[in-house]
Amino acid sequence: QALLDIYTIYKKFGKIDGISIAMVGDLMNGRTVRSLSYLLGKFDNIKIYFVSPLCAAMKIDIKNYLKKHGVVVSEVNNLRLIASEVNVIYQTRTQTERGTSFNRNDHGLGYFIIDKTILGLMKKDAIIMHPLPRVGEITPEVDDDLRAVYLTDQIKSGLYTRMALLKMILAPEM
């Protein structure tokens, strides 16, 4: 997943170095955000905003790894505060099967849903990504926005990334 996510970001911006990304939702149990964070640590001038309630915050091992690799990390609990500052919003679902439990509609915990309000705050060239499936963390009207690439570019990137990996494994001499 992290490889296709990096490829999606690269296709959109023509680079990885220098991007800023908000990773939103269940960061403690979300495997995709952990892998993507690790991979982003290999690039220069990266800024990551971890946006989650305290009960689903990114684990310390990833934060320590990122710090060691010079990634600027900020933790907030309100996507509205930083939506205008990022190139990428990477939304995740709540991993209930892995024990996470919080109500995204309880704004006492923070604000973690992508809706029309967030669209209005975002940069014109920013993108919204999601590893899918989604479960209410992105409202349906967001799907039609050109910045929502989770049902278009991100899926295509998955196809091409998997094809390239299979080719490298099964027919490296070609």
Cβ-contact 23, 58 below 8 angstroms: yes
pLDDT of residue 166: 95
Q: Is residue 93 very low, low, confident or very high in pLDDT (cuts 50, 70, 90)? A: confident
Cα separation, 109 vs 54, whole angstroms: 8
**What pLDDT, in 10s, does the model give residues 115-172?**
999 999 999 999 999 999 888 899 999 999 999 999 999 999 999 999 999 999 999 8
**What pLDDT, in 10s, does the model give residues 56-78?**
999 999 999 999 999 999 999 99
The three-state secondary structure class of 89 is: strand
pLDDT of residue 173: 86
pLDDT of residue 107: 67
Half-sphere exposure of 128 (CA within 13 A, CB side): 31
Cα separation, 130 vs 151, whole angstroms: 9
